[in-house]
Structure 1
Amino acid sequence: MQPSIPVPIREACPPGACTCEREKLLGDPNGDTRILLLTKDQEKKLIARIETISSYDDLKHVQERIHDQLGVLLQISPSVHGVRTVRGLTIQLGPRPGLCRKTQQAIPAAIRRCLEQNPHIVYALLDAQDLLGAPPQS
């Protein structure tokens, strides 16, 4: 039998600095701890990966990977007030125990930077939601 190698998990945030409920998640035997695998180094790699997204399909792939590997739903939707710039998009991570407050801000900020550099992705996103008035498909 081979000795198990401990998997690194995210360090605890300073007391009072975060609302991630990390300790509560660790204490729950049925809790989904995949989010704790996102260490600070892994988060930096994820942010770098997000910033290199080059197409709408690539964005969808990253969304799926985040959901599959971390159990976090990344939602990107147009604002109810319309979309004139990237700021008109709502980008948020679904609530999840163990998800650090800083991560909840860093990932959407990285996506926003990526979309500002690649407006064609924004157009594809809006088109996928039929906001550009594409004719109905029969």
Structure 2
Amino acid sequence: MADFEIRKECPPQLCDCARERLLADAQADLAILRLNLTEEKRLLAHIESISTLEGLRKLEKNLQKNLGVVLRIAPGGGEVRTMRGFQIQLLEQPGLCRKTRAAIPAAVRRCLAAHPEIAFAILNENDLLGGIGALP
């Protein structure tokens, strides 16, 4: 068993996280289960406090390194008029709770809404602004 506090079991039929199957596999990486409710709240607060694109990219790398979670943030296929125009998703993986897969993208959207300069930087990374507003 793990030497850290793991996430508690989700109510039956309400989640598709496959936590029990992950725990039953002796070869499985249990890092994702470190994201218990207390740690999830801390993570969500941290995401909402990010104020730069570099901080957001660092978060993406740390989530993948520490928990094995892949967070993708990109402009949507259509026109981006609001923060809802961004594609923000966590890739599904065993042990990642359905609520967490919804809560983290919501926190990123709140971060982008509070710091529109991050949203513009993401758009500029994808050359959607055509260099408008880019520093020389």
TM over 0.5: yes
The RMSD of aligned alpha carbons is 1.3
Cα deviation 1:103-128 (Å, max 9, x = unaligned): 00000000001100100000001111
Matches within 5 A, 1:1-80: 6-80=3-77
2:97 maps to a residue whose letter is: C
1:121 maps to a residue whose letter is: I
The question of 1:94 aligning with 2:91 is answered yes
Cα deviation 1:55-109 (Å, max 9, x = unaligned): 0001001111111111010001111112111110010001110000000000000
The question of 1:118 aligning with 2:115 is answered yes
Cα deviation 1:28-54 (Å, max 9, x = unaligned): 122121100001000000000000000
Q: In structure 2, the residue corresponding to 1:44 is in which secondary structure? A: helix
Q: In structure 2, the residue corresponding to 1:99 is in which secondary structure? A: coil
Q: Distance in 2 between matches of 1:115 and 1:20?
A: 27
Q: Distance in 1 between matches of 2:46 and 2:67?
A: 15
2:56 maps to a residue whose letter is: L
Q: Distance in 2 between matches of 1:9 and 1:110?
A: 22
Q: In structure 2, the residue corresponding to 1:45 is in which secondary structure? A: helix
User: In structure 2, which of residues 81, 96, 101 is the aligned counterpart of residue 84 of structure 1?
Assistant: 81
Identity across matched positions, percent:
48
Q: Distance in 1 between matches of 2:111 and 2:55?
A: 12
Structure 1 runs (4+) deviating above 3 angstroms are none
TM-score scaled to structure 1, two decimals?
Answer: 0.91
Q: Distance in 2 between matches of 1:74 and 1:104?
A: 10
TM-score scaled to structure 2, two decimals?
Answer: 0.92
Segments of 5+ residues of structure 1 without an aligned counterpart are none
